[in-house]
Amino acid sequence: MSNVVEYVRHGPVALLTIQSPPVNALGAAVRQGIGEGLSRGLDDAEVKVIVLTGSGRMFSAGADIREFGKPMKSPNLVELIDTIEGCAKPVIAALNGMALGGGLELAMGCHYRVAAPAASAGQPEVKLGIIPGAGGTQRLPRLAGVEAALNMIVRGDPVPAAEALKLGIVDELIEGDFVAGAIAFAGKQAGAAPRRTRDLDDKVRNVGSSVFEDFKKSIARRARGYSAPYRCIESIENAVKLPVDEGFARERAIFAECLASAESLALRHVFSAQRRAADIPDIPKDTPVREIRSAAVIGAGTMGGGIAMNFANAGIPVKLLETSREALDRGLEILRKNYAATVSKGRLTQEKMDACLALITPAGGYDDIAGADIVIEAVFEEMGIKKEVFGKLDKVCKPGAILATNTSTLDVDEIAAATARPESVIGTHFFSPANVMKLLEIVRGKETSKEVVASTVKLAKAIRKVGVVVGVCDGFVGNRMLHGYQRQANFMLEEGALPQQVDKVIHDFGFAMGPFAVGDLAGLDVGWRIRKAQAKTRPSGLRYSAVADKICEMGRFGQKTGAGWYKYEAGKRAPIPDPEIEALIIKESAERGIARRDISEQEILERCIYALVNEGARILEEGIALRASDIDIIWLNGYGFPPYRGGPMFYADTVGLKNVYDAVSRYNDEQGQFWEPAPLLAQLAKDGKSFADYAAA
C-alpha cells in the first residue's frame, strides 16, 4: 500500500486513512494511494463497505496547488471521484476535520458522509481566482440546495459540521471516538446500494434564473474587479439548467479558463507570498521565542486603543498607560464604542465583548507595566517624545521584555539607542485602525536580536496580523513607497488633473479609494504634522507641492471636519468635488508657472503605480525588504492594492519590467526629479527578467 494512505480492515469495513501532513493535500501520491485502497477493498470479498478519512486535524485541505499548471498524473481528482462514485460497494467519507476545496469534492463524491462535531466543510477556490473543478459546483447544489451552494462557493467560507448536517452535506455527526463511530455507521450501510450524489436532483429542480441574478446584485460591491465569483455562479446555474454530464463538462472548462487567468495567477501568488513572509532566511525555525502572556500599550489614542484591542481579542491581558486620567478615560470609552459597534453588527457577542474589555486595564504609571512581556509605545510621531518614553521603559521593564515602537517613519535604531538594551527593541508598525487592518510591519533594527524578531513574528500570528519583517529607513517599506505615490498624485494636480480624476483612475484600477479620498478618510492633519517637521531638512531646490498644506491651513482636515480635498454632507461619507478646491489648485499652478494640460488616465495610472514599483525596486536592492513578494503583501494588506493584481511588484512583472522601465525613463527625461530608474529595475529590464526571476536567483 501507499505510504501516504493507510489501509486497515475492521471486519467488513475497509478503513482508508490519508496520512500526508500537515493538511492531507490531494497530491499525486495521495490520489494514487486512495485509488489503490479502493481497488484492494473492492477485490476483498470480506469487505462490504469502505470508509475514507484523514489523519490529524484535517480530512483534506484539497488540491496541492504546486501541481497547478503542470501535467496531472493519473488519476487526477476528477477521475478518482468518478471511480469512487461508481464503486459497487458503499464508500463513506468520514470528515475528522476540515474538508476544503478538493477535499470536500472528494467527500461529496462518496456515497455517504459523516463528520466530527469540530469538523467543517468549504469550497474556498474562489479565493484563488478559480472555481471548484472536480464537481463541486454540481454536487454541492444537489446536496445543500442552490442558495447554500451559492453562499459557500462564491463567498468561499467554510461552514461548521452542525450547519453541514442541516444543509444535507453530511448525513450524521459522530460524538466520542470518531473512527469507531464512523466504522459503526459504515456497518449499517453494508450491503446497501451506493447513493450517488450526481443522481440527486430534488434541490436543483424548478430554480428560477432570478435566484442567480439577485445573487449577482448582492455581491456586486464586494466582487468588483473579480471574475471568479461570477464564473462560480455561472457553473452553479449550469447544475440547474444542463443535464448532469454537460454540467460537469462545463465546470471543467470554466475551471481551466479561470486557472489560466491573470486573476488566478495573481491570487495564487498572494496565497504563496503571504505564507512565505514569515520565513526569515537568517533566523532558524528552532530559534527560541519569548512567551507573550501579558502586554502594555503606552498611549490610549486611536492607535494605542486599537493595538490594545488586538491583544484583548487574542486573550492576552493588556495594560493601557496614558499621561492623564482624562485621556485614559477618553481612550477607554472609544474602545467600548468600537466593541459595541461590532456587537451591534452581529460580529461579536456581548459575552465576548465583556471578556475582552475585562482584559484591558488602566495602568497607574510606568511602574505598573514593569512586568509586561511586551510594551508597545504608541505616542505622537516625534523622535524626542519616543526617546523619552524608551528611556523610562529601559529603567522599569523586566529583563527579557520586548520594547516595541509603533512608529510609521522614524529611525528605530535611534529610538533603541535611548536604552541600554537595543537588542530588545523592535518596531511594530500597526496600520490604522489597528483593530481592523491586517498588516503589521515588523521593523528589525541593526541590534534587534533574532530571538526578539522571531518572537514578534509569532506574536503577529497570535493577534491575527500579517507580519512582514522589514529594515530601518524613513517610512520603512509601505510608507516610503506611499510618499512617491502621493507625491506624483499631488504633482499631477498642479499640472492639470483634479482630485476626482486621479481618484477615479485609481479606483478603476481596483483600489477601494484613490489617494485624495483616502487622505480625507484618514485625516489630513496627520500628514501635515509630519511634513511640517520635515520642512527643516527639505532641500530648497526639491519640487514640493504645497496644495495639501494650504488645504489644512484652511482648517479642512477631511471627513472629520466635513471638508478636505472634497466636501461632505453632514452624516455622509460620499466625497463631493468642491469648486473652492479646484480654484485653489488652479491658482497654485499659476503661481508656480505651470501650464495646465490634459492628463490622460494612462499617465495617471503609470505615474502613481510605477512610482511604487521604482521605489520598491530600490527597497529590494537595499535589503529593506527581503523579497519582492513581501512588498506585495505589505501593499495588499496595508494600503488596499487590489489582490487580483497581485501587488505592485507582481503587477509590474505582468506588465513587463521592460515596459515599466521605459515609462520610468520617459518620465525621468520629462521631469527629472524623483524618476531616476532604480538600478535593479534597469538591470532586470535589460536582462529581460522579472522580480520573480530575481527572487528565484
Determine the 3-state secondary structure of 426 from DSSP. Answer: strand
For the record, the C-alpha cell of 581 comes out as: 478646491
Taking the C-alpha atoms of residue 321 and residue 369, their distance in angstroms, rounded to an integer, is 8
Task: Identify whether 147 is a catalytic site residue.
Answer: no
User: DSSP H helical segments within 145-243, as ranges?
Assistant: 146-155, 161-167, 178-189, 210-219, 228-241
Q: Are 296 and 363 in contact (CB under 8 A)?
A: yes
**One-letter amino acid for residue 619 of the chain:** I
Which phi and psi angles does 321 have, rounded to 5°? -115, 130
Name the strand (E) or helix (H) holding 356: helix 350-359
User: DSSP H helical segments within 383-431, as ranges?
Assistant: 383-396, 412-416
CA torsion through residues 695, 631, 512, 503, sign: negative
Taking the C-alpha atoms of residue 62 and residue 500, their distance in angstroms, rounded to an integer, is 44
Task: Identify whether 125 is a catalytic site residue.
Answer: yes
**Active-site pick, 105, 237, 322, 606:** 105
- Cell numbers 469487505 correspond to 47
What count of residues does the chain have? 697
Determine the 3-state secondary structure of 446 from DSSP. Answer: coil
Strands in 58-60's sheet, in edge-to-edge order, are: 58-60, 98-100, 120-122, 159-160
For the record, the C-alpha cell of 282 comes out as: 537568517
Burial class (CB in 10 A: 0-12, 13-18, 19+), 494: buried
**Using a CB cutoff of 8 Å and minimum separation of 24, what contacts does 176-185 make?**
178/53, 178/94, 178/96, 178/116, 179/15, 179/53, 179/94, 179/96, 181/114, 182/15, 182/51, 182/53, 182/92, 182/94, 182/114, 183/10, 183/13, 183/15, 183/51, 185/92, 185/112, 185/114
**Active-site pick, 125, 495, 603, 606:** 125
Number of H helices, E strands in the chain: 29, 18
Taking the C-alpha atoms of residue 165 and residue 608, their distance in angstroms, rounded to an integer, is 50
Q: How far apart are the first and last CA of the chain?
A: 39
Taking the C-alpha atoms of residue 183 and residue 54, their distance in angstroms, rounded to an integer, is 14
List Cβ neighbours of 285 (8 Å cut-off, separation of 6 or more): none
Taking the C-alpha atoms of residue 504 and residue 379, their distance in angstroms, rounded to an integer, is 35
**One-letter amino acid for residue 403 of the chain:** L
For the record, the C-alpha cell of 328 comes out as: 485614559
List Cβ neighbours of 165 (8 Å cut-off, separation of 6 or more): 115, 171, 172, 173
Active site residues: 105, 125
